Amino acid sequence: MLFRRLSLVCLTRCVALLGGCLAGLGNPSPALAQADSLQSIARRFARYSQQTPAEKLFLHLDRPSYVAGENMWFKVYAVEGSSHRPLPVSSVAYVEVLDPAQKPVLQAKVALKQASGSGSFVLPTTLASGRYTVRAYTSWMRNFSPELYFHTSVAIVNTRAPLGVAARPAAAAYDLQLFPEGGYLVQGVPSKVGFKLTNGAGQGVAAEGTVLDQSGNTVASFRTLRFGLGSFSFTPAQAGQAYRVVAELANQQTVTASLPPAREEGYVMRLVDGGAGVSQLRLVVQTRGAALENERVFLLGHAGQKVALATAGELFEGRTVFTVDKQQLAAGISHFTLFNSRRQPVCERLYFRPPAAGLQLTARADKQQYSAREKVTLQLASDQTTARLSVAVYQVDSLSAAGGPDMAGYLWLTSDLKGAVENPGYYLNASPEAAEAVDNLMLTQGWSRFQWKDVLSNNSGQLPYLPELNGPLVRGRVVHRFTGATASNIPAYLSSPSRHIQLYTAVSKPDGSLQFEVPDLYGRRQLIAQTNTRRDSMYRIELFDAFAPRPAGSSALSLAVPESWAVGLRRRAVQAEVQQRYYGSRPVMYTAPATDSIAFYGQPSEKYRLDDYTRFKVMEEVMREYVPGVLVRIRKDGFHFLVPDNNSNTVSENPLVLLDGMPVFDVNRIMAFDPLKVQKLDVVKSRYLLGPLISDGIVSYTTYKGDLAGFPLDAHALLQEYEGLQGQREFYAPRYDAPRQQQSHLPDFRNLLYWNPNAPAGAPLTFYTSDQVGTYRVVVQGLAGTGQAGSASFTFDVKAPL
């Protein structure tokens, strides 16, 4: 429902903005076709935006680097795509750790409550050293490009394998990419070309270089500004001519790349920003080609899928200029798309307007320097009372020196751009150099939340992945047992045998697909999926993987670990093993939250504890002797149950029979079951609405352990392992507030001193240092209810005693 409200608000704003823009186009009478095309584009975009609202996730990880065997802790923030306000729609976040080959090595479903959640991973000691990717997404986000999932890179070192210095990257490890402004080059039309130069670790590299024509003549020169990014102006002399770009690094190595060949005809769009003191942008459109010189073109500008600008212009001798008031543009990334007279997108350009001041966070410790095992008092403060905070305190070493992503930079930039963004927080600075650097970033990155062909053709359709409002959705399909063809309108049942009786139902759609909502399943479970074999014995059920497909290709990021860090890293590994095995004197385990123990059907009409009666060895005797609420009949095909409903004076035949929550459609099989394995029996004597299905009463058996007690599954049933929602693992750190603890000889090599995913602002936080001397970093991430995000960070030292 909240998604629908957000969509309606988005549509209302789009229509209002569009109406204002159209009103400023002048008298529409001479240009009805122009106005109609413009309105059509904007209407289609508004409709598409209404149907596909955006959702984003941000993960605060406790550290940017780990040793195999350590715990990885994280906090999940879910926000609306444009305003970045907390979005309490999705109830599940899918979090994965991908190895350098992009294969998932750890996966978890994390429960979200009021737009946030927290979880952890124990990193296996078998992981190889390398740079891994942590990604996170919701079910709704799977409808869009995987590049829009949350991604961040972490270093993991396995101390059980030899450590060594990686070889110096060869020239082939550098990557030089070129991006003509607007999309492509056109012969004889001045253009701006952005470029991006990175090393094998994906980090920007400083360089200077030249652009050479086929004869080796220099036609342009350039140098990087920040993070390996830059731009240069260039006019291609001839279509199809090869131009070579040569970049020279500080180590005298050169990297070359070829410019894309220029076209004979086409459009070029250049964005001209006069700087902070100028209130307007100019978008200059130039064309080449006789058919294009006097064409009508349309410009649509939007930020976060909300229309900010819709206007039209007429080319005169192949040129026109659009003027845009910066105040019309929302904070963040604005996307300008140029359409020709046939409503085809021909050029695109991004522009970034820095946001106003974000969430103001302050964090300080009571001292700047501490000794080993000394108490630290941390004070957090925020200018927003609704802010949610998370805080981590970890030791700074060579792997973690750069730190992790900050929330504001991620939400404003990385989450809306294609590819990695190095140090996104830098671009939020209000300085002339940062403004130039962010323009280079806009030139070299793409925005991929949708494709224009889908917008203009109204091709949003029925999106395959719905928001998970109340818990995970288990997806699958019904197929014919022999032909494999999908089958529609087939009732299906999903159960997970336990003493907590739960049953989930669905009916297959025309394409055979199924969706079961399973809100209360935590930890590793056994799922049983089946159809009613008394009616639909020719079908079987297939269940799909709950996680998104693995990305294609490899992350190709290198990791260099100096041998000099071996001693410290091995200490971390020893401490990780101790903490993994013991929490005080107990193993550190995930714990599931308390759930309602009442069966899904509530209080039954009749309840029987079989141990309160004479125990019989035959189920038929049990049912006939002391279960008057169920009548047993024998016919040609065997046993049948009848349930009399005293309220309606009717008798229901063939009620739903359950064993530990699993449907048993053949009563003969339950009557052959050993009654001494059954602890209790519930009877529901009225018709029961179970999702899309109706049962004529319920007869529910429960074994002592809720594990079916050896009852054989139906041959057509599907038994499948399922990992439910992740339980909570409590963060543990020793306290040294007593002399006996201070003098303990048990070594404390903790690298992570403190982790709190729900830190309060204003109240003091306390923890103790470990035996590890060095510099420690405190990182606080926060999000206010208004959508303002912020972070704070500082360091303190732990010194050895004199």
Which of 221-230, 421-430, 768-777 has the lowest average pLDDT?
421-430
Following DSSP, what letter does each residue of 354-374 receive, concatenated?
--S----EEEEES-SEEETT-
Q: Is the pLDDT of residue 702 over 70?
A: yes
What pLDDT, on a 0 to 100 scale, did the predictor assign at position 160?
A: 80
Per-residue pLDDT, averaged over 270-278, amounts to: 85
Average pLDDT over the chain, rounded to an integer:
87
Write the secondary structure of 89-100 as one string of H (helix), E (strand) and C (coil). CCCEEEEEEECC
pLDDT band at 290 (very low <50, low <70, confident <90, very high): confident
Q: Is the pLDDT of residue 3 over 50?
A: no
Q: Is the pLDDT of residue 345 over 80?
A: yes
Q: What distance in Å separates the CA atoms of residue 655 and residue 502, rounded to the nearest whole number?
A: 17
CA separation (Å) from 556 to 101, 102, 161, 199, 466? 8, 10, 20, 10, 33
Per-residue pLDDT, averaged over 761-771, amounts to: 92
Q: What percentage of residues in the chain have a pLDDT greater than 70? A: 91
Q: Is the pLDDT of residue 280 over 60?
A: yes
More reliable by pLDDT, 285 or 596: 285
Which candidate, 711, 706, 766, places its Cα nearest to that of 734? 766
Which of 309-318, 440-449, 683-692, 766-775 has the lowest average pLDDT?
440-449
pLDDT tens-digit map of 706-721: 999 999 999 999 999 9
Domain map of the chain by residue range? 473-543, 606-723
What pLDDT, on a 0 to 100 scale, did the predictor assign at position 555?
A: 59
Which candidate, 541, 483, 533, places its Cα nearest to that of 513? 541
Which of 23-27, 142-146, 335-339 has the lowest average pLDDT?
23-27
Per-residue pLDDT, averaged over 96-112, amounts to: 95
Q: What distance in Å separates the CA atoms of residue 393 and residue 793, rounded to the nearest whole number?
A: 10
State the amino acid at position 75 in one-letter form.
K
For residue 348, give every residue at least 6 positions away whose Cβ sits within 8 Å of its Cβ, in sequence order, or none.
Answer: 182, 183, 269, 335, 336, 337, 338, 447
Q: What distance in Å separates the CA atoms of residue 579 and residue 732, rounded to the nearest whole number?
A: 8
CA separation (Å) from 742 to 451, 521, 585? 62, 42, 19
Task: Say what the pTM is.
Answer: 0.89
More reliable by pLDDT, 289 or 448: 289
For residue 258, give every residue at least 6 positions away whose Cβ sits within 8 Å of its Cβ, in sequence order, or none.
Answer: 242, 243, 244, 245
Q: What distance in Å separates the CA atoms of residue 401 and residue 397, rounded to the nearest whole number?
A: 6
Q: What distance in Å separates the CA atoms of residue 140 and residue 157, rounded to the nearest whole number?
A: 34
Per-residue pLDDT, averaged over 299-317, amounts to: 88
Following DSSP, what letter does each residue of 268-293 receive, concatenated?
EEEEEE--TT--EEEEEEEEESGGGT
SS3 state at 632: strand
The dihedral region occupied by 215, where left means phi > 0, alpha psi between -120 and 50, and beta the remainder, is alpha
What pLDDT, on a 0 to 100 scale, did the predictor assign at position 747?
A: 83
Which candidate, 749, 801, 802, 759, places its Cα nearest to that of 780? 759
pLDDT band at 780 (very low <50, low <70, confident <90, very high): very high
Per-residue pLDDT, averaged over 259-284, amounts to: 90
Element at 336 (helix H, strand E): strand 332-339
Locus of tokens 């001041």: 357
Following DSSP, what letter does each residue of 316-330 receive, concatenated?
BTTEEEEEEEGGGSP
What pLDDT, on a 0 to 100 scale, did the predictor assign at position 270?
A: 95
pLDDT tens-digit map of 377-405: 999 999 998 899 999 999 998 777 777 88
pLDDT band at 8 (very low <50, low <70, confident <90, very high): very low
Which of 25-39, 58-72, 146-160 has the lowest average pLDDT?
25-39
Q: Is the pLDDT of residue 320 over 90?
A: yes
DSSP 8-class letter at 679: E
What pLDDT, on a 0 to 100 scale, did the predictor assign at position 16?
A: 37
Q: What percentage of residues in the chain have a pLDDT greater than 90? A: 63
Most confidently predicted of 43-57, 83-97, 305-319: 83-97
The second-level CATH assignment, the architecture, of 606-723 is Beta Complex (2.170)
SS3 state at 629: coil
pLDDT band at 360 (very low <50, low <70, confident <90, very high): very high
Which of 15-24, 84-93, 146-155 has the lowest average pLDDT?
15-24
pLDDT tens-digit map of 136-183: 999 999 998 898 999 999 999 888 876 554 444 444 589 999 999 999
pLDDT band at 18 (very low <50, low <70, confident <90, very high): very low
More reliable by pLDDT, 202 or 186: 186
DSSP 8-class letter at 134: E
State the amino acid at position 193 in one-letter form.
V
Locus of tokens 């009563």: 667
**Could you tell me the two tokens for 516?**
């079961």
Q: Is the pLDDT of residue 2 over 70?
A: no
Q: Are the CB atoms for 407 and 355 separated by under 8 Å? A: no
